[in-house]
Amino acid sequence: MSVAVPGEDIHASLSDVTRVYPGVAGTPAVHALGPVDLKLKRGEFFAVVGPSGCGKTTLLEVLAGLQQATAGTVTFEGRPIAGKVPDGIGVVFQEDASFPWLTVWDNAAFGLRRNGVDPAKIRRRVDDALAFMGLTDFARAYPAQLSGGMRQRVCISRTLVLQPRLILLDEPFGALDAQTRLLMGDEVLRLWRRTGATILLITHALDEAAMLSDRIGAMSARPGRFMEIVATGWPRERDSKIVSDAGFGEITGRLWDNLRGESMKSLGHSGVAAG
Ligand SMILES: Nc1ncnc2c1ncn2[C@@H]1O[C@H](COP(=O)(O)OP(=O)(O)O)[C@@H](O)[C@H]1O
Ligand SMILES: [Mg+2]
């Protein structure tokens, strides 16, 4: 193995990646993404923001190995990703993806059971993950008995027990109210610090991106490309209180400068006011 240079330890990368969805039954092909280049540094918290439909989920799925790039190279821990989600990558999806027919505990245990992990180890890891996510008292409850924020914590627990080294989250708090979102952001920061994992968070919320991340990639309208990558310079010990920091407004302002025109494009506006 090569010796890691501090700050240059690339955990996962996309090089010159594009994704075109082929047309089906006479519909035209959709050029959804790229070309994009992205180098995620080991242990960093990276957010991707961009207008709706710009290719964010596509980017996440290509990076996770859930779908294949049309062109370009994707790597995780130095190896090309092809055809399946590699061991070490955990995904939290956009929608509440908890299994309604399983208790919270069984939801969290799902992946480990499927992988045939030893029951004693499953018990340890699930109990630990539920305690960490504040769900111990709800272990026997079903998702329908929980709030939206708690259900999303169940989904995070389900990923956490697999001990991923790279965690990909696709707009995990999209359906939650603003205050719950801020608090869930704190949970993800805690998770990030405790696991030491690299995190890629997709969000359409600029404040969320600015509060949580070391770096934020602002994407253009479809086909999504990175227009700018903004470094926040936040300390590792941080939480939602950072929204009152003077630098916070500067970062969200800069992101909005990038995204305003692109968001209008995605709404079908030219960006020029009618006279
Ligand atoms: N399976 C698919 N087949 C065809 N087009 C798709 C498919 N999935 C997504 N798209 C299109 O690709 C573009 C990007 O989608 P997506 O990655 O979901 O964007 P985002 O997550 O940024 O909202 C959109 O125009 C969407 O309609
Ligand atoms: Mg999406």
What is the tens place of the pLDDT at every residue in 21-74?
A: 998 888 899 999 989 999 999 999 999 999 989 999 999 999 999 999 999 999
Say how far residue 109 (Cα) sits from the centre of its chain.
Answer: 21
pLDDT band at 4 (very low <50, low <70, confident <90, very high): very low
Does the Cβ of 29 fall within 6 Å of ligand 1? no
Non-local (6+) Cβ contacts of 188 within 8 A are 156, 169, 172, 199, 201, 212
* Ligand 1 center from residue 32 Cα (angstroms): 6
Does the Cβ of 32 fall within 6 Å of ligand 1? yes
What is the tens place of the pLDDT at every residue in 68-100?
A: 999 999 999 999 997 788 889 999 987 778 899
- Is the separation of the CB atoms in 46 and 199 below 8 Å? yes
pLDDT at 263: 80
pLDDT at 269: 65
* Distance (Å, whole) CA 275 – CA 257: 22
Q: Is the pLDDT confidence value at 204 over 90?
A: no
What is the tens place of the pLDDT at every residue in 232-263?
A: 999 999 888 888 888 899 999 999 988 888 88
DSSP state of 224: B
Which conformational region is residue 236 in: left (phi greater than 0), alpha (psi within -120 to 50 degrees), or beta? alpha
* Distance (Å, whole) CA 247 – CA 233: 9
pLDDT at 13: 96
- Is the separation of the CB atoms in 221 and 262 below 8 Å? yes
Does the Cβ of 30 fall within 6 Å of ligand 1? yes
* Distance (Å, whole) CA 122 – CA 28: 47
Six-digit token string for 263 = 């968001």
Residue written as tokens 């600015």?
210
First to last CA, the chain: 62
Does the Cβ of 21 fall within 6 Å of ligand 1? yes
Which of 49, 64, 85, 51 lies closest to 19 in space, CA to CA?
64
Q: Is the pLDDT confidence value at 2 over 80?
A: no
Angle value at C-alpha 98, between 97 and 102, nearest 5 degrees: 150
Residue % of the chain over a pLDDT of 90: 63
pLDDT at 96: 74
pLDDT at 180: 80
Q: Is the pLDDT confidence value at 271 over 90?
A: no
pLDDT band at 177 (very low <50, low <70, confident <90, very high): confident
Residue 258 half-sphere exposure, CB side, CA atoms within 13 Å? 23
Mutate to test the pocket of ligand 1, among 18, 27, 36, 57 (most ligand atoms within 8 A of CB): 57
* Ligand 2 center from residue 20 Cα (angstroms): 16
* Ligand 2 center from residue 274 Cα (angstroms): 31
Which of 261, 190, 218 lies closest to 55 in space, CA to CA?
218
Alpha helices in 196-245, H assignment, sequence order? 206-212
Does the Cβ of 57 fall within 6 Å of ligand 1? yes
Integer Rg of the chain from CA = 19
Which of 94, 87, 113, 91 lies closest to 102 in space, CA to CA?
113
Q: What is the set of domains in the chain, with CATH numbers?
A: 30-88+177-267 (3.40.50.300), 95-163 (no CATH)
Q: Which atom of ligand 1 is nearest to the CA of 94?
A: 21
Check: pTM over 0.85? Answer yes or no.
Answer: yes
Nearest CA to ligand 1 atom 3: 21
* Distance (Å, whole) CA 10 – CA 203: 22
Which of 51, 35, 32, 53 lies closest to 261 in space, CA to CA?
51
Does the Cβ of 18 fall within 6 Å of ligand 1? no
What is the tens place of the pLDDT at every residue in 137-165?
A: 999 999 999 988 889 889 999 999 999 99
Helix H or strand E encompassing 182: helix 178-195
* Ligand 2 center from residue 114 Cα (angstroms): 27
- Is the separation of the CB atoms in 10 and 44 below 8 Å? no
* Distance (Å, whole) CA 229 – CA 241: 23
